[in-house]
Structure 1
Amino acid sequence: MMRLRIFGAAALLLAASLTSVPTQAQATSPTCTSSPQRPAGMQLSWHDEFGGRALDRRSWSTVMDFPGRAGGHYHNTSYGSYAVDDNVVLSGGKLRLVTDNKPVVGTDPAGTYQYTEGFISSHDKFSQTYGYWEICAKFPAGKGLWPAFWLIPQDRSWPPEIDVAEWFGSIESMHSGLASGTWPDVRWDSHWATGLNPTTGWHTYGVLWSPGHITFTVDGKPTSTITGAQVPDKPMYVVLNSGTWANADRGGPPDATTPFPNSFDVDYVRVYSAR
């Protein structure tokens, strides 16, 4: 696996100085305002433009496979929603991860769930150590909604976890950060951002990850940086999901004002590595 050889302020500089990608796979998106970008000196290693009629099962799974999940379709009690394949929709060259308030009787784990969500991951399909990871997306608005773009280790360990863009609709705030350490002594390096308007337009959300250094970006501009030995150095894979928050904190779960069905819409996901 190739590794970036970028340290300290150099990583931040690289994230800030993006260059266009003149390849067919990188054709200009009609959704994100600027031409698709990548850090200089890197190459596309994996991507999905979601141009097909159905999810590409060579790239994605719809079953959860990481610590902390109660089953293959439900993560833990912070979640109010159960993942179902019908909520993963490809339409008009976009991925739509739908959240709905139609109760479902689940089997994995067994139970009745008020809400359903769409969930996909690249576990066992694609993973990489370091690089630049980006989506072009539009998030749904509404109380209790909790869509996210995050990275989890291929080896099924936890922590670490890299949250690239995690939207909490009740408090209209975007979380990005890193979980590290050893369970149950988990360290969270978190950044909260408001005023990004992720629900009213299309934007790119990215993470530049190198040895000892993580920089988060929105529309190619750095928003926060994490440095230190807690930065992971193992292969990780992509998770994209919609869904709802179940707990009373962070604004609480959905209520009568929350629009259903709604969707977390993704135009593309692209991952780059050092040349």
Structure 2
Amino acid sequence: MTLRALTALLATILAAIGSLFTIPALAQTDLAGATSKLTLQVATAMLGERCRRIEAPNPASFASVSLHRTFNDDFDTHPLTGGRWVPHYAGGAAWPEARYWGGDGSDFRRKTSWNGEQQIYVDPRYGGLEATPLGLDPFKVKDGILSIVASRTPPALKAVLFNNEYVSGILTTQGRFSQKYGYFEIRAKIPVGTGVWPAFWMLADDGGWPPEVDIMEGRGQRPGAIVMTTHWRIPETQRVERCGFDFRVEDASTAFHAYGVLWQPDRITYFIDRQPVSEIKVPVGFNDPMYMIVNLAMGSKNFEGVGFVDGQTPETVAFEIDRISAYQIDER
């Protein structure tokens, strides 16, 4: 029996024992695997216009949602070998053509400069300002765990890589997989450190922004801090709004936890270890299928608790990911 299978069996046994002492409606399922079928609990209370935490849930006020799996990657092989992932932003309707398509601006799809990020996303075929691939690979796979590794840019390559302080990695399913409604989940450890900014999130497949669903963002300078946020635009004013919360997961950097979001026609519910923690009425503009993004950014001028990289920032940082899964809601 493999280590992964043994771990899953042990988790199943412990979950069965635990169900004797927990309320069945909110009992934790086996988080180590991505079963073909899944049932989640969601609140049934009426929603206001703003998001809210789900605290001390009453099982009588919850309803079950049945789902079936539509996407899963256990990362038993390199993420770029299966055709599921793209190692950069693919661009779209809202992307400036001049920057996206070439010249010195070709770094546009490999970082978000507006955020003040100090990394560039690379892959083995990327050459920066050179035509020849540099062979830089931020994706490491071992024992079914994907590590997105950020490391300081080699001095000899800094000019070629637009003078970014770090090289790191991003994976997106744009053009490969997108879905309207359903449940989207990552099981991962969340790295920490000054300038460290891991995230699992979603954007509309048409390339526009917002909407944006931030399923999990880590505040590198605040170990155990997990952020879950929804972004949308008010059509009448074009103002971008957001609503979300910070949550404490004390061992987030040392233990694997599942972070997910359930997108239904009427509400968006965020989950930690498949327990609902917050929800929001679906804002305006959530009309198109969304694709998944997982990345390890380094440095931010806007996201509190991350900061810019400095001498205290680790030379290498690893964002460890056990799996990423998606489920669609069963028809009734």
Structure 1 residue 267: deviation in Å?
A: 0.6
Q: What is the correspondence of 1:202-217 to structure 2 with a 5 Å cutoff?
A: 202-217=256-271
Choose between structure 1 and 2: higher strand proportion. 1
Does 1:113 pair with 2:186? no
Query: Where does structure 1 lack aligned partners over 5 or more consecutive residues?
Result: 1-14, 28-35
Does 1:176 pair with 2:228? yes
2:183 is matched with which residue? 132
2:76 to 41, 47, 51: 51
2:119 partner letter: S
1:76 is matched with which residue? 113
Residues 143 and 38 of structure 1, relative CA distance in 2, 3 Å threshold: farther
Quick one: distance in 2 between partners of 1:170 and 1:19? 31
Quick one: distance in 2 between partners of 1:146 and 1:169? 6
Residues 257 and 38 of structure 1, relative CA distance in 2, 3 Å threshold: farther
Q: What is the correspondence of 1:1-275 to structure 2 with a 5 Å cutoff?
A: 16=26, 26=35, 38-39=39-40, 40-53=65-78, 55-66=80-91, 67=94, 71-78=108-115, 79-85=117-123, 86-103=137-154, 104-105=157-158, 111-172=162-223, 173-181=225-233, 185-230=239-284, 232-247=286-301, 250-251=304-305, 252-275=307-330
Residues 224 and 118 of structure 1, relative CA distance in 2, 3 Å threshold: same
Contact 1:214 / 1:231 at 8 angstroms: preserved in 2? no
Quick one: distance in 2 between partners of 1:216 and 1:227? 12
Quick one: distance in 2 between partners of 1:132 and 1:248? 28
Contact 2:189 / 2:320 at 8 angstroms: preserved in 1? yes
Quick one: distance in 2 between partners of 1:148 and 1:81? 14
Contact 2:182 / 2:329 at 8 angstroms: preserved in 1? yes
CA offsets 1:191-246 (integer angstroms, 9 cap, x no match): 11234431021100010110131111111111211114437232001100012123
CA offsets 1:154-173 (integer angstroms, 9 cap, x no match): 10010000000011112342
Larger Rg: 2
- Per mean C-alpha deviation after superposition, the further-off stretch among 59-68 and 246-255 is 246-255
2:120 partner letter: Y
Q: TM-score, normalised by structure 2?
A: 0.68
Quick one: distance in 2 between partners of 1:231 and 1:155? 12
Structure 1 residue 16: deviation in Å?
A: 4.7
Structure 1 residue 136: deviation in Å?
A: 0.8
Q: Which fold has the larger relative contact order, with Cα–Cα distance below 8 Å and residues 6 or more apart in sequence?
A: 1
Residues 265 and 227 of structure 1, relative CA distance in 2, 3 Å threshold: same
**Structure 1 residue runs of 4 or more that deviate by more than 6 Å after TM superposition:** none
1:42 partner letter: L
Contact 2:203 / 2:213 at 8 angstroms: preserved in 1? yes
Structure 1 residue 97: deviation in Å?
A: 0.6
Residues 233 and 196 of structure 1, relative CA distance in 2, 3 Å threshold: farther
2:325 partner letter: R
What secondary structure is seen at the aligned counterpart in 2 of 1:149?
strand
1:74 partner letter: K
Contact 2:172 / 2:294 at 8 angstroms: preserved in 1? yes
Quick one: distance in 2 between partners of 1:38 and 1:264? 28
CA offsets 1:97-116 (integer angstroms, 9 cap, x no match): 11112254476xx7210111
- Count of aligned residue pairs for this structure pair: 250
Residues 201 and 18 of structure 1, relative CA distance in 2, 3 Å threshold: closer
Quick one: distance in 2 between partners of 1:38 and 1:192? 25
Contact 2:38 / 2:67 at 8 angstroms: preserved in 1? no
